[in-house]
């Protein structure tokens, strides 16, 4: 429940203006109805001004409402072949994950061990390979691994994106994923007596996925989800379970090929950002959602192929 900044009316589904950051009821959601500071940027010959509630609406060429998809050199306009991904970074990242996974399957047949890992895996031996900070987010260690992370991103990603916007969601996903991976390789470097080209690296989007869960846990800790589509649990139990599980294995040095430190880093970033969003925008997530979770050890299941950890 949120209050309109203009009339003080309580709203279950408030409108959050992306131009001025205010929260408004249906009567005051339009920029001209709440004296929006973004009106000074009006430059739309079509007479359409994006309120920020629906990212699929285009603003003018100088409007801040234009989404990341507008910058792509391909047709993402309504009715175009990629219209489904317009203003929807959660599903765009989901598609990139699967494209990267299929690339792994193909290139793995032709590339050497070193070449393959230099493209897809963030490794303690070569943390200076900056591109792997991000390619490793989209790469995965197996079919079950990517399916688990895909489920989390498919069901939870759009909810977070709806409240923070596509641009901020993209930054959250990429930054949390990269820092999660770097956190994992950092603890490996500190714990290992020596690091070699064969020291396991990390792949997977679980750090970013747990950041998404962390945001929703703060916005609505009682959000009910159906684990495996059967067992109803509040989201705080789910994220808390991941946290306890990961803390135990980080402290004991166990956990096999699961990157537990990456889980903790991603979750911590999500919780911190969720608290920031809650304090500054006063938003609330839906009360119920169904999804099927991954296996133990995070949204990807336990275990991983030799030479890299899964997270």
Residue ranges covered by each domain of the chain: 2-37, 85-281
The per-residue pLDDT string of the chain (311 residues; one tens digit each, 9 = 90 and over) reads 677 778 878 777 777 777 676 777 878 778 777 777 666 554 444 444 343 333 433 343 334 434 554 555 555 555 555 666 667 889 999 999 999 999 999 998 999 989 999 999 998 888 889 999 999 999 998 888 899 899 889 988 988 888 888 889 999 999 999 999 998 888 888 877 777 788 888 899 989 999 999 999 998 888 877 776 677 788 888 888 878 877 877 766 665 677 778 888 999 999 999 998 888 765 555 444 444 333 333 333 322 333 455 55
Name the one residue in this structure whose structure tokens are 């963030």.
122
* Side-by-side strand order, sheet with 288-290: 231-234, 224-227, 288-290
CA dist 303 and 294 (Å) reads: 12
Q: What is the pLDDT of residue 162?
A: 85
Among 100, 141, 102, 117, which Cα is nearest to 300's? 141
Q: What is the pLDDT of residue 86?
A: 64
Phi, psi at 66, each rounded to 5°: -65, 135
Q: What is the pLDDT of residue 65?
A: 39
CA dist 201 and 113 (Å) reads: 13
CATH fold of the domain at 85-281: Rhomboid-like fold (1.20.1540)
Q: What is the pLDDT of residue 28?
A: 78
- The DSSP code for 51 is -
Taking the CA atoms of 26, 88, 159 and 135 in sequence, report the sign of the dihedral they define: negative
Q: What is the pLDDT of residue 61?
A: 38
Q: What is the pLDDT of residue 94?
A: 93
Task: Specify whether the CB–CB gap between 290 and 229 falls below 8 A.
Answer: yes
Among 121, 143, 144, which Cα is nearest to 131's? 121
Q: What is the pLDDT of residue 102?
A: 95
E strand map for the chain: 2-3, 10-11, 15-16, 23-24, 201-203, 224-227, 231-234, 288-290, 308-310
Exposure of 290 in the CB half-sphere (CA atoms within 13 A) = 4
CA dist 21 and 32 (Å) reads: 14
Phi, psi at 16, each rounded to 5°: -110, 115
CA dist 297 and 245 (Å) reads: 7
Q: What is the pLDDT of residue 92?
A: 92
């Amino acid at each position: 429940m949120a209050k309109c900044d203009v009339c003080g009316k309580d709203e279950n589904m408030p409108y959050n203006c992306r131009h001025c950051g205010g929260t408004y009821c249906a009567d005051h959601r339009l920029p001209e109805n709440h004296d929006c500071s973004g009106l000074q940027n009006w430059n739309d010959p079509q007479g359409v001004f994006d309120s920020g509630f629906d990212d699929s609406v285009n603003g003018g060429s100088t409007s801040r409402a234009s989404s990341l998809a507008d910058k792509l050199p391909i047709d993402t306009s309504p009715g175009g072949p990629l219209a489904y991904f317009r203003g929807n970074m959660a599903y765009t990242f989901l598609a990139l994950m699967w494209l990267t996974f299929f690339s792994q399957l193909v290139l793995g047949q032709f590339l050497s061990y070193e070449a393959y890992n230099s493209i897809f895996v963030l490794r303690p031996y070569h943390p200076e390979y900056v591109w792997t900070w991000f390619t490793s987010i989209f790469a995965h260690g197996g079919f079950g691994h990517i399916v688990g992370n895909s489920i989390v991103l498919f069901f939870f990603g759009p909810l977070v994106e709806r409240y923070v916007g596509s641009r901020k969601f993209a930054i959250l996903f990429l930054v949390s994923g990269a820092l999660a991976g770097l956190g994992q390789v950092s603890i490996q470097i500190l714990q290992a007596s020596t690091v070699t080209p064969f020291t396991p690296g990390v792949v997977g989007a679980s750090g970013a996925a747990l950041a998404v869960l962390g945001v929703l846990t703060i916005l609505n800790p009682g959000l009910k989800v159906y684990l495996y589509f059967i067992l109803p649990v509040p989201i705080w139990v789910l994220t808390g379970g991941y946290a306890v599980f990961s803390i135990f294995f980080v402290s004991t040095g166990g956990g096999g090929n699961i990157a537990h430190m990456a889980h903790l880093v991603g979750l911590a970033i999500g919780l911190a950002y969720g608290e920031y969003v809650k304090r500054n925008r006063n938003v609330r997530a839906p009360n119920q959602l169904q999804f099927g979770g991954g296996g133990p050890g995070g949204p990807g299941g336990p275990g991983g192929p030799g030479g890299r950890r899964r997270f």
